[in-house]
Amino acid sequence: MTDPGRGDFPASLLLVGAGRMGAALLKGWLNLGLDPARVYVLDPAPAPDVAAFCAARGITIGAPGGAPDVLVLAIKPQTLASAAPGLAPLAGPRTLVISILAGKTLKTIADLLPGAGGIIRTMPNLPAAIGAGITGAVAHAVTPAQRRTAEALLAAGGRVEWLDEESLIDAVTAVSGSGPAYVFYLAECLAEAGVAQGLPPAVAARLARATIEGAGALLAALPEVPAAKLRADVTSPGGTTEAALAELKSGGALAELIGRAVAAARRRAQQLSD
Ligand SMILES: NC(=O)c1ccc[n+]([C@@H]2O[C@H](COP(=O)([O-])OP(=O)(O)OC[C@H]3O[C@@H](n4cnc5c(N)ncnc54)[C@H](OP(=O)(O)O)[C@@H]3O)[C@@H](O)[C@H]2O)c1
Residues 214-244: tens digit of each pLDDT? 999 999 999 999 999 999 999 999 999 999 9
Is there a domain that residue 202 lies in? yes
Asked if residue 222 and residue 86 are part of one domain, the reply reads no
Quick count: other Cβ atoms within 10 Å of Cβ 199? 16
Ligand 1 pocket list (CB less than 6 A): 16-22, 42-45, 74-77, 79, 83, 100-102, 123-126, 177
Ligand 1 centre to CA of 163 (Å) is 24
- Using DSSP bridges, classify how beta strands 96-99 and 118-123 pair: parallel, antiparallel or unpaired: parallel
Residue 194 and residue 178: Cα distance in Å, rounded? Answer: 25
Question: Average pLDDT of 51-68?
Answer: 95
In this structure, the residue with its CA closest to atom 1 of ligand 1 is 125
Residues 183 and 144 in one domain: no
- Does residue 86 sit in helix, strand or coil? helix
**Burial of 233 per CB tally in 10 Å (0-12, 13-18, 19+):** exposed
The CB-side HSE value for 108 (13 A sphere, CA atoms) comes to 18
The residue-averaged pLDDT of 2-21 equals 81
Percent of the chain exceeding pLDDT 90 equals 88
Q: Examine the domain organization and report whether 222 and 116 are in the same domain.
A: no
Residue 224 lies in a domain: yes
pTM for this prediction? 0.90
| HEC-encoded secondary structure of 254-268 | HHHHHHHHHHHHHHH
- Based on the fold, state whether residues 30 and 137 are members of the same structural domain: yes
Q: Is residue 108 part of a domain?
A: yes
The whole domain housing 56 covers 6-170
Atom of ligand 1 nearest to the CA of 123: 1
Give the chain's domain count: 2
Q: What is the pLDDT of residues 25-39, one digit of tens each?
A: 999 999 988 999 999
- Mean pLDDT over 262-271 rounds to 94
Mutation pick for ligand 1 pocket among 14, 21, 112, 268 (CB with most ligand atoms within 8 Å): 21
How many Å apart are CA 87 and CA 89, to the nearest integer? 6
Cα 182 from Cα 178, distance rounded (Å): 7
Return the best residue to mutate from 75, 79, 108 for the ligand 1 pocket (most ligand atoms within 8 A of CB).
75
Ligand 1 atom nearest 22 alpha carbon = 16
What are the φ/ψ torsions at residue 140 (nearest 5 degrees)?
-130, 120
Distance CA 12, CA 224 (A): 37
* Closest residue to atom 25 of ligand 1, CA basis: 17
Mean model confidence pLDDT for the chain: 94
Q: Answer yes or no: is pLDDT of 3 > 60.
A: no
Q: Which residues contact 96 (CB under 8 A, 6 or more apart)?
A: 10, 69, 70, 71, 116, 117, 118, 119, 120, 142, 146, 149, 150
Q: What is the pLDDT of residues 189-216, one digit of tens each?
A: 999 999 999 999 999 999 999 999 999 9
Last residue of a domain, one of 144, 170, 196: 170
Among protein residues, the one with the nearest Cα to ligand 1's atom 6 is 21
Which ligand 1 atom minimizes the distance to the CA of 16? 33
Residues 129 and 204: their CA atoms lie apart, in Å, by 27
Q: Does residue 1 fall inside a structural domain?
A: no
Phi, psi of 81 (to 5 degrees): -60, -40
The answer to whether residues 165 and 173 touch, using CB atoms and an 8 Å cutoff, is no
Q: Residue 58: CB partners within 8 Å, gap ≥ 6? A: 36, 37
Same domain, 125 and 257: no
